[in-house]
Amino acid sequence: MTPLRQTLVITLLAAAGYFGLRSLPDTQCAFLHNDHQPVVVDGVEFCGLNEEANFYSPKALQFPVELKVELSADGTKGELRLTKEDGRPYYDHEVAVSHTRKVHLHLRQSRGVRAYAHLHPTPAQDGSWRFDVPEVLRGHALEAYVDFADARTSRVMLAQAETKAVSAAFDAFVAPMRNALVSVDASTLKSGASATLRVKLSGPEGKALKLLPIMGSLGHAVVFSADKPSAGYAHMHPTLEGGEYAPNPTLSFRLRLPPPGTYDLWLNLNDGQEELLRTTLVVTP
């Protein structure tokens, strides 16, 4: 290859790299929300506004990633691995920040009270991601759902796995509730329809509730099937309709409704402390 041709090739590669990097999402919002512009309210950047979520089965969608979850013998610690098609793990530097975190782990008790936790595992040098199992989930068989974004491609990845109950015995644990979920008003409950779900909240003993940002949003909602274990999940973020800062705030979510059945809707919110509230959603034919 002549010097001139070498120079041209190097120049073309450099230009392609420059414009490729310029095209990558440049905010924590954009990785999970393609072409979505974050909204700034009172100096706070909110992600995922006006999005419509879907109820997904990661296994059915067959993303090019395999999730494996292992629990310690005493059920208090957990470790997950995200394995690519070539057998290599996803390391810390290969995962993008989305909604202020890298890996979002949704753990749900398969049977019984169907307790739930939203966790963010810590990366280790060997490619594993480690987490503490919340007290409410210890000793139970669990469903695990993970969403994250590939830092190189910006592609959102979903994965799903199950764990068996560990042999250790745990006392039943019920987390105390400070706030209350008053009601859910759905624009429609027909399966397959695009629904707006408006969730009204109240503070302790009916007092005013001030919502604070949590992971780039004023709340996170997750939907699981109450009838069918491991059927899938939906992960939603609220739009801003104007009632979020009322004394009894209302959070609104948009969801393409799943197949008919009974579903658990878990709301993760922050009033200075994180809290999880649950209600039931019945989807009709």
Domain architecture of the chain: domains with CATH: 63-163 (2.60.40.10), 180-283 (2.60.40)
Average pLDDT value for the chain: 83
- Tokens describing residue 282: 């019945």
Round to whole Å and give the CA distance between 198 and 252: 4
- Say yes or no to pLDDT of 160 above 90: yes
Are 266 and 64 in contact by the 8 Å Cβ rule? The answer is no
Are 223 and 265 in contact by the 8 Å Cβ rule? The answer is yes
Side chain identity at 91, as an amino acid letter?
Y
3-state helix, strand, coil in the chain (%, to 5): 10, 40, 45
Give pLDDT tens digits for 249-274. 999 999 999 999 999 999 999 999 99
- Say yes or no to pLDDT of 169 above 80: no
- DSSP annotation of 205 reads G
The upper half-sphere exposure of residue 183, i.e. CA atoms within 13 Å in the direction of its Cβ, equals 3
User: What is the pLDDT, as a whole number, of residue 39?
Assistant: 46
User: What is the pLDDT, as a whole number, of residue 1?
Assistant: 61
Taking residues 191-220, what's their average pLDDT? 90
Are 234 and 281 in contact by the 8 Å Cβ rule? The answer is no
